Amino acid sequence: MIDKNKYTSFIKQEDVREFIIKNISKLEGVLDNFDIRRTDFMNPYEQRLFISVLNAFSNEISCQAVGGNENSERKMFLIYPDYIYEVELPIKLLRLYGNFKFEKISHRDCLGALMSVGITREKIGDIYVHKDFIDVVIDEAIGNYMISNITSIRHCSIKGKILPIEELTETEIELVKKDYSVSSLRLDNIIAEAFNLSRASAISVIKSERVKVNYEPVFSQSKEIEENSLISVKGYGRFVFISSNGLSKKGKIRISLAHYK
């Protein structure tokens, strides 16, 4: 029996803690039953938390993180006894076809449509929106259900097809670089500049638990942000803090951000 509290007591967010505990139970199943199990899809922060648990049992199990390709953001862990050397990947590619010429479909639109038919985020990996189709990495267990139940995204009728994960087609990430000046590299200052908010509004957004830095929920407005950090703000968007570029004539710090389109 794994002492789950030992590995999760430091996690402040209760929903994240419960999610990691849920997946530790799957690791426990491998240790007890010597079978092959898979976790839910995890974001990079959750992956870091779970890897710290897996490392404690590295002499007893083998594992691999799978998400479609090396650049995948969301991945699940395949866990199995250390004497097993080859396992089938439990992920598939859901390709959605539709007439997207007259209505632009976003990542958010697609995720909303998928979850509207009763699928949780944990069963869905990365989503790649193309001009004529959308690729979605999914847990193979939900493939047939998705084909039968998802019929539209916004006002567009769609048809789905399950394909081998090897046919996944990535999209190129579009970023828009912008330069700003801030009084310090505190989180509230950077968010205020990035989204043209007052500092009070930026603090309110942070306190309302809508901000993540490198996928980790952050509640302190005074957190100093390091270069190459990814900052996401629910309801506003996300951006990368590329660099600080010295001081302006007025003594402010020049920074460069790359906003996701």
- Sorted by where each begins, the domain ranges of the chain are 4-81, 91-167, 175-260
> 4-81 adopts what CATH topology?
Ribosomal Protein S8; Chain: A, domain 1 (3.30.1370)
Number of residues that make up the chain: 261
Q: Which conformational region is residue 101 in: left (phi greater than 0), alpha (psi within -120 to 50 degrees), or beta?
A: alpha
How far CA 234 is from CA of 53, 108, 213, in Å, comes to 29, 11, 12
Amino acid in position 226: E
Amino acid in position 209: E
- The reported pLDDT for the residue numbered 101 is 81
* 124-129 sheet: strands from edge to edge: 124-129, 133-139, 91-98, 156-163, 152-153
Strand, coil or helix: 148: helix
The reply to whether 4-81 and 91-167 are identical in fold is no
Residue bearing tokens 């309110």: 204
Q: How many Å apart are CA 245 and CA 32, to the nearest integer?
A: 54
> 175-260 adopts what CATH topology?
3.10.290
Residue bearing tokens 């789905």: 160
Predicted structure pTM score: 0.90
How far CA 135 is from CA of 89, 109, 189, in Å, comes to 17, 13, 36
Query: What is the CATH class of 91-167?
Result: alpha beta
How far CA 36 is from CA of 130, 165, 168, in Å, comes to 34, 19, 24
Q: How many Å apart are CA 166 and CA 50, to the nearest integer?
A: 26
Q: How many Å apart are CA 49 and CA 65, to the nearest integer?
A: 13
Strand, coil or helix: 217: strand
Residue numbers in the chain where pLDDT is lower than 70: none
Q: How many Å apart are CA 220 and CA 208, to the nearest integer?
A: 11
- The reported pLDDT for the residue numbered 223 is 97
